[in-house]
Structure 1
Amino acid sequence: MAITKEQWQQLETEMAGLMVNISFSYQGHELTIRRCRDGESKTVLAVFIDSSIDEQWFTQVENLTEDAPKILPEVWCHRTISRYKPKDIAEIEKILGKRKAKKEYPNLHDKLVWLSPYYSKASVLCRQFKKLKGLEVTKADCLALTMNLS
């Protein structure tokens, strides 16, 4: 059963809270959302796949291992960073010129993309999960109350 717009709003409100324990079912895997600490005064939403987060999955998208779940790029957050800082790019292009800089440094403007199970905000996580076809809620306190009233 597809998740309605109202249910997504309820889920997002619950994820924005302090205590989060929501589970989804997607392509034979169980996705569990929990709020975890990320430092002394910051919390993030963590996406567990089948109750685990494997450190081997923290890698660039093209370097994923064979045993990593196929749904990993769909459910984890994509993080990016430039190979070179803008200041360094400007300095290299000023010294060498744009054409020679492009020849000498073919990856000057490239970005590194890796996967992370941590989302900073509930709205970002919901936006990505709304795109998943066949996603079903298996456990959510906010939806259990509305389902029992019906």
Structure 2
Amino acid sequence: MAISKAQWQQVEDELAGSWVNVAFRYQGVELLIRRERKNETTTVLAVYVDGCIKGNWFKPIDKLPDDAPKVMLDVWYHRSMAIYKPQEIAELEKIYGKRRARREIPKLHGRIEWIEAYFPKASVLCRQFKKLEGLELTKAQCLSEPVLS
């Protein structure tokens, strides 16, 4: 059953709250979403794949282990970071020139991409989950409440 626009708004409001206990089913895998503490003052939304998050799954996208579920690339938060800071690139290009710098350092303008199980905001999580075909909402507070017209 597809999730309607009104349901997505209710789910997003629920995920923005303090106590979050929402579950989805996607490609035969259960996705549990809970609010957890990142540090003393910050909370994040954690996405558990079949009830677990393993530390060895936190790797660059091209180096994911074989035991990692295939749905992780769809349901976890994508992050990226430049290999070199803009100031370092400018210094290297000033010293060597742009062409030689690119020739000597092939990944000068490259980026490192990885995925994380933690979303900073409910709107970011919902925006990514709305794109998933076949996603089914299985557990949420808004499912037990009657929809007011």
Which TM-score bucket, shorter chain as reference? over 0.9
Per the alignment, residue 10 of structure 1 pairs with 10
1:65 CA displacement: 1.1
Q: Are 1:76 and 2:94 counterparts?
A: no
CA distance in 2, matches of 1:28, 1:66: 18
Alignment partners' CA distance in 2, 1:56 and 1:73:
15
The answer to whether structure 1 residue 54 and structure 2 residue 54 are counterparts is yes
Q: Which residue of 2 aligns with 1:63?
A: 63
The 2-side partners of 1:8 and 1:143 are apart by 11
Residue 146 of structure 1, CA deviation: 2.3
SS at match of 1:25: strand
Q: Equivalent residue of 2:145, what SS?
A: helix
- What does the per-residue CA deviation read over 1:79-115, in whole Å, with 9 as the maximum and x for residues that have no partner? 1110001110000001110000000100000000011
The percentage of aligned residue pairs carrying the same residue is 56
The within-5 A match list for 1:125-136 is 125-136=125-136
RMSD: 1.0
Cα distance in structure 2, aligned partners of 1:144 and 1:76: 27
3-state SS of paired residue (1:66) = coil
Task: Give the alignment of 1:102-141 within 5 angstroms.
Answer: 102-141=102-141
| 2:82 pairs with 1:96 | no
The C-alpha deviation readout for 1:125-150, integer Å capped at 9, x for no partner, is: 00000011000011001221127x8x
How far apart in 2 are the matches of 1:90 and 1:36?
A: 40
Write the distance in 2 (CA, Å) between the matches of 1:49 and 1:132.
15
For residues 139 and 87 of structure 1, the distance between their equivalents in structure 2, rounded to whole angstroms, comes to: 48
Shift of 1:64: 0.8
TM-score, normalised by the number of residues in structure 1: 0.96
Gaps of 5+ in 1: none
- Structure 2, unaligned runs of 5 or more: none
Task: State the number of aligned residues.
Answer: 148
Does structure 2 retain, via aligned residues, the 8 Å contact 1:10–1:143? no
